[in-house]
Amino acid sequence: MIGFTIELQCLAWICLATALMWVPYTVARILTRGVVAALSNPDPSHPPDPAWAERARRAHANAIEDLAVFVPFVLIAAICDASTPATAFAAKLYVGARLVHYAVYTAGIPVIRTLAFLLGAGATLTVAAALLVSGM
């Protein structure tokens, strides 16, 4: 039986956060267009989403793309019982970095956004490297 490691806990939290990232930009769309128009098919006559909401939508898409790479590594680590202090730290770093990325991307802060993305990517690579080293 696989134990609920810190890596799996972090994975559960970031999956939940990513699952909820659509809420702010959807609320913005409803406030901008109204409920019926927001629920309808896209129409060029509808007012555009606010710039921050469009950035939130793109940040959410990026979070999903990044999560698709992080998830398998954490699951493989759990299956192989490869939890280490480095993988635990990397998982925590990933959660923090991805939450910061979403917030600063939505706020339109470019440099911090890129740094947060790179920290998350580095955390993913740390878990991957730990798996590859432990398998040798």
Query: What does pTM read for this prediction?
Result: 0.92
Domains of the chain, residue spans: 13-19+51-134
Query: H-helix or E-strand containing 95?
Result: helix 85-107
Whole-angstrom distance, CA of residue 55 vs CA of residue 47 = 16
Mean pLDDT calculated for residue range 72-84: 93
**Chain centroid, CA 33 distance in Å:** 27
HSE, side-chain direction, 13 A CA sphere, residue 34: 5
What are 33-50's pLDDT values in tens digits? 999 988 888 888 888 999
Mean pLDDT calculated for residue range 16-27: 97
Give CA torsion, residues 109, 95, 70, 110, to 10 deg.
10
What are 92-115's pLDDT values in tens digits? 999 999 999 999 999 999 999 999
Encoded tokens for 18: 């990513």
**Widest distance between CA atoms in the chain:** 59
